[in-house]
Amino acid sequence: MSKQKPENSLASEYRYETLARQIIQLIQQGTFRPGERIPSVRQMSRQQAVSISTVMQAYLILENEGLIEARPQSGYFVRAVTDISLPELEISAPSLDPSHVNLHELVMMVMNDSANPNLAQLGAAMPNLELLPTERINRIMSRLARKAGKGTHQYHFESGLEELRVQIAQRAVSSGCQLSPNDIVITAGATEAVNLCLHAVCRPGDIVAVESPMYFGTLQIIEVHGLRALEIPTNPRDGISLGALQFAIEHNPIKAVLTISNFSNPTGSFIHDEKKKELVELLARHDIPLIDNDVSGEIFFTEKRPMVTKAFDQKGLVMLCSSFSKDISPSLRVGWVAPGRYKAEIEWLKFTLSSATATLPQMAIAEFLESGGYDHHLRRLRREYAGKVAQLYDAVTHTFPPGTRVTRPSGGYVLWVQLPENVDSLELYSLALQGGITLTPGYLFSPTNQFYNFIRLNAAAWSYPIMGALEKLGDMIVELAGRGRA
Ligand SMILES: Cc1ncc(COP(=O)(O)O)c(C=O)c1O
């Protein structure tokens, strides 16, 4: 490895040290921002007219100093360097009593505000439309529409388009799952998938165990069915507490367990493989179905696709739900469920409640998957979202007051923020709305108001121009925190 000192560097510096110092300056002055990719080793070597090994050594220094990180097959990225190191969020501590859900008015109010184009949308977990493969899908759809025969417009009563089910079954292999196309039922998004599953295994008044916090859309389904939610303590890092779940099972007639085991909404928690296996085995011992929502499973920033709980399912008790809403299009409304032993009920319910899923969107998605376009698109999407999550995390740590904690998920695109204790997220919501900003208040994620001082932020649409809105929000939090102390 060359260690020649260049002419115009500090006398005691090697070329790779000079290069490392230059890159540090670029990071500090914001030219390379947290989450962004820096030039590849080859590009940097060409740009700076230095050898590959000089660049490698410089990058090694930056990596050791925690300033950049290597991501397999993607390159080197600026880490969310922050001189403020926030403590991690703690495991939630809900009361271990089941409760009815009554959140619909609040949910609809927030949903209406999320549809207002005049507001800075910091909360709603919508994907970034600029990053979705919309043009490609539109081209496929118009070609299919032109050439498709009248048959496309007939009811399609089976479990959904076979070509699509084949593609989904093939992809399942990468998440450790052996599925046949016949194991899958196509639905109108993950929402319908979860709805059908709950419908299949519960009756009004039944108790279902949920992660706490839980995505409010799922809590809404629980509310609609008149079920009772039993919130289980959940760690924002590695998900539902198995000890607490076991205790809950031993003391309550739980009819189903609901999880989002890969990158939950809102905490981004991720249940690692060994724990997924233990979860499935625990429920198998008690013959309780697990409804696991894997809607963000493909948006991982880790080295490989995380496994799904279904991979460990020996008894057909895991009902795996997912959709293409987060990574292809939320409006095509194509999702699916692999319902294990409940397939016949799910097919019947699907037929009874919505007859069938629209055919053309299924055809378009099947073709996109088959062409390899999906994989290519996902690689870019993961890179972009990893960057945006890191940038928003960094921005929150710099703009929100002391007492704030925020998650740093390894997939998905939402951040869960704990505000100082005396800040009420609904008060903040009203204040923010007056300032032209929306966010998602923590109240939505628990039927028992566990998270009054939490908010969810969406990193998908993050870009530096939004910084102004975030700073404004930070000021409002400071104001509310100060009011509480007076
Ligand atoms: C966990 C979770 N499930 C389901 C949905 C909605 O999915 P779909 O559009 O496929 O119904 C969302 C959307 O935010 C979500 O975060």
User: Residue 431: its pLDDT value, please?
Assistant: 97
User: Whole-number mean pLDDT of the chain?
Assistant: 91
Q: Hey, is 100 helix, strand or coil?
A: strand
What span, in angstroms and rounded, lies between the C-alpha atoms of 15 and 10? 9
Q: Which two tokens stand for residue 99?
A: 């409760």
Q: Which of 274, 245, 243 is nearest to 259 (CA)?
A: 245
Query: What domains appear along the chain, each with residue ranges and CATH number?
Result: 15-78 (1.10.10.10), 152-374 (3.40.640.10)
Contact partners, residue 86, CB within 8 Å, separation at least 6: 397, 404, 405, 406
Confidence of residue 486 (pLDDT cuts 50, 70, 90): very low
Query: What's the CA-to-centroid distance between 234 and ligand 1, angstroms?
Result: 19
Alpha-carbon gap, residue 251 to 209, rounded angstroms: 12
Quick one: pLDDT at residue 61?
82
Instruction: Give 386-402 pLDDT, tens digit per residue.
Output: 989 998 998 999 899 99
Name residues whose C-beta falls within 8 Å of residue 292's C-beta, 6 or more positions apart in sequence.
Answer: 258, 259, 260, 261, 308, 309, 310, 318, 319, 320, 321
Point out the ligand 1 atom lying closest to the alpha carbon of residue 324: 10
For residue 116, the SS3 value is: coil
Buried b (16+ CB within 10 A) or exposed e, 438-449: bbbbbbbbbbee
CA 189 to ligand 1 centroid distance, Å: 7
In tens, the pLDDT along 157-206 reads 779 999 999 999 999 999 999 999 999 999 999 999 999 999 999 999 99
pLDDT of residue 28: 67
- The owner of tokens 């009054």 is 452
- The whole-number pLDDT of residue 484 equals 58
Q: How far is CA 290 from CA 92, 250, 287, 325, 343, in A?
A: 21, 16, 10, 22, 14
Least confident of 92-96, 101-105, 208-212: 92-96
At residue 4 the predicted structure's pLDDT band, cuts being 50, 70 and 90, is: very low
Q: Is there a contact between 198 and 225 (Cβ–Cβ < 8 Å)?
A: yes
- Min mean pLDDT across 99-103, 201-205, 346-350, 461-465 is at 461-465
**Taking 80 as the threshold, does the pLDDT of residue 73 lie above it?**
no
Weakest mean pLDDT among 88-97, 260-269, 272-281, 418-427: 88-97
Task: Give residue 356's identity as a one-letter amino acid code.
Answer: A
Q: Report the separation in Å between the CA atom of 290 and the middle of ligand 1, taken as the mean of its atom positions.
A: 17
| Site to substitute for ligand 1 among 126, 215, 296, most atoms within 8 A of C-beta | 215
CB 324 within 8 A of CB 334: yes
Distance, CA of 228 to CA of 223 (rounded, Å)? 8
Distance 393 CA to ligand 1 centre (A): 22
323 contacts 193 by C-beta, under 8 angstroms? yes
Residue 464, pLDDT above cutoff 60: yes
Question: For residue 460, which of 2, 110, 129, 52 has the smallest C-alpha distance?
Answer: 129
Provide the H-helix boundaries in 202-342.
216-224, 242-251, 273-286
Q: Which residues contact 152 (CB under 8 A, 6 or more apart)?
A: 144, 359, 360, 363
Substitution site in 191, 218, 260, 357 for ligand 1 pocket (most atoms within 8 Å of beta carbon):
191
Q: What is the pLDDT of residues 217-251, one digit of tens each?
A: 999 999 999 999 999 999 999 999 999 999 999 99
Mean pLDDT, rounded, for 415-429? 97
Q: How far is the CA of 392 from the centre of ligand 1 (A)?
A: 21
Query: Where does ligand 1 bind, in terms of residues with CB under 6 Å?
Result: 125, 189-191, 215, 217, 260, 265, 293, 295, 323, 325, 330, 335
Report d(CA 424, CA 476) in Å as an integer.
Answer: 11
Cα(408)–Cα(389) distance, integer angstroms: 7
Q: Percent of the chain scored above 90 by pLDDT? A: 76
Q: What is the pLDDT of residues 134-158, one digit of tens each?
A: 999 999 999 999 987 777 888 887 7
Question: In this model, does residue 207 exceed pLDDT 90?
Answer: yes
